[in-house]
Amino acid sequence: MPRVDEGTSRRRFLQFLAGSPLLAGSSLSAFAGEAPSRLPDPMIWAPQNLEELIKGPKDAINVFDFEPVCQKNVPPAHFAYMASGIDDEVTLRANREGFLKFQLRPRRLVDVSKVDMTTDILGVKYDNPIVLAPIGGQRSFHPDGEVGAAKAAKAGNHLQILSTAASMGVEDVTAGRGAPIWYQLYATNKWEVAEAMVKRAEKAGCLAVAVTVDRNGGRNQETLFRMRKSDTRDCNACHDRSSLQASMRTRAMYQGIDLSGLRNTQASAMTWEFLKRLRDTTRMKILIKGILAWEDAVLAADNGIDAIIVSNHGGRSEDSGRATIDALPEILEAVNGRMPVLVDSGFRRGTDICKALCMGATAVCVGRPYIWGLGAFGQPGVERVLELLRVELHAIMQQVGAPTIKHLMPTMVRRA
């Protein structure tokens, strides 16, 4: 096997550092003197040629094309919040690099003149297995916000998951989607808050609640802290930071709820008991989002959870250094078909999605890419991002010889 010599490898790493929006303005970028204006390998991160921005959604040839336009349009503090990982951002990079560890193993002479990407997710049919991951505060990226994303999801019949921290309410977003969506729950320290949100989501027609369990600790979002210094606007003009209650009252899903006693939007005391209580509270299907160890996946199945999302929060929970595509095989093996397994974090290409589906994932959620589309062009940007992902997935399914999702087999992907 040809080896990349150390010089080339180091040069590539420096080029990555120089081009990364994650390090813009940081002291590390000073080390990257020999960097070109364009990254050689968008596998690692988006091309950063700010001279050649796309003018409209149709100009995009891949999802990365939206990211620098989003960076240009969106206030630096908001963009940085979205882009940021944790600490050294090892997990953030690992999520992308993880896909390099797996290779596709195509089969030939299969009739793939027609490809059907239809996918059943918890008993509902969608035209494809690409899901919009829950992302909070989408109006901070574009006024179209979550409703714009919903309309884009509708155009391609994608499943959408609405965040607890959404800037628009579940009723409006469901109306925009024109079909039931899922709700993501940050349970908070107060049961009554979680209960009220879950009841509201159920009343709005949500089919499932995804309980996020991977945000227990504080987080050192260094890229956010560095980049937001360049934002000259007064944050307090929009964000009421006088108390947690005041800050949360501006969030659509907290409205009308008694927030006295709210000390944390996360639920660091949560155990499996909470899930039992939730089961007695709602008829919606229950998922756990943020599973990374096969032991927890087995416990989820044992506890009657309907599905899990393998996720490291897009490299925003702990800087473990482990990609979700690395964690997925052991989890699928341990679950052994007892419940659907969804996955997210770092998915940017049809081939990335294809690899997870071949392994046995039911669906793949994408986060930042559709936010790049939203920040760049609003709803039409999200539509194009989703279209590009569908087109790429369609093409790679033909290439590996899979006329339907069910034809994507574990033998079609191997560890490099």
Ligand X SMILES: Cc1cc2nc3c(=O)[nH]c(=O)nc-3n(C[C@H](O)[C@H](O)[C@H](O)COP(=O)(O)O)c2cc1C
Residues catalogued as catalytic: 313
Residue 320's SS3 state is: coil
Q: Is 82 a binder of ligand X (CB under 6 A)?
A: yes
Q: Is 346 a binder of ligand X (CB under 6 A)?
A: yes
- Closest separation in Å from C-beta 248 to ligand X: 13
CB 405 within 8 A of CB 364: no
Q: Please, which residue, 112 or 377, has the CB nearer to ligand X?
A: 377
Q: Is 314 a binder of ligand X (CB under 6 A)?
A: yes
Q: Is 184 a binder of ligand X (CB under 6 A)?
A: yes
Query: Which one of 134, 360, 373, 381 is in contact with ligand X (CB under 6 A)?
Result: 134
Total binding residues toward ligand X, as defined by CB under 6 A: 24
Name the burial class of residue 360, with classes exposed (0-12), middle (13-18) and buried (19+) by CB atoms within 10 angstroms of its CB.
buried
Q: Is 129 a binder of ligand X (CB under 6 A)?
A: no
Query: Which one of 326, 344, 352, 392 is in contact with ligand X (CB under 6 A)?
Result: 344
- Closest separation in Å from C-beta 296 to ligand X: 16
> CA 71, 146, 316, 347 torsion: positive or negative?
negative
Measured CA distances, 34 to 12, 14, 39, 100 (Å): 10, 8, 12, 25
- Closest separation in Å from C-beta 147 to ligand X: 16
CB 138 within 8 A of CB 150: no
Sheet holding 208-212, edge to edge: 130-132, 363-366, 341-344, 307-310, 285-291, 208-212, 182-185, 161-162
- Closest separation in Å from C-beta 41 to ligand X: 17
- Tell me which residues in 254-313 interact with ligand X (CB under 6 A): 289, 311, 313
Choices 48-56, 104-112, 294-302, 363-371 (CB under 6 A): range interacting with ligand X: 363-371
C-alpha–C-alpha distance, residues 72 and 20, integer Å:
14
Q: Is 341 a binder of ligand X (CB under 6 A)?
A: no
CB 254 within 8 A of CB 265: no
Q: Which residues bind ligand X (CB under 6 A)?
A: 81-82, 95, 133-136, 163-165, 184, 212, 289, 311, 313-314, 316, 344-347, 366-368
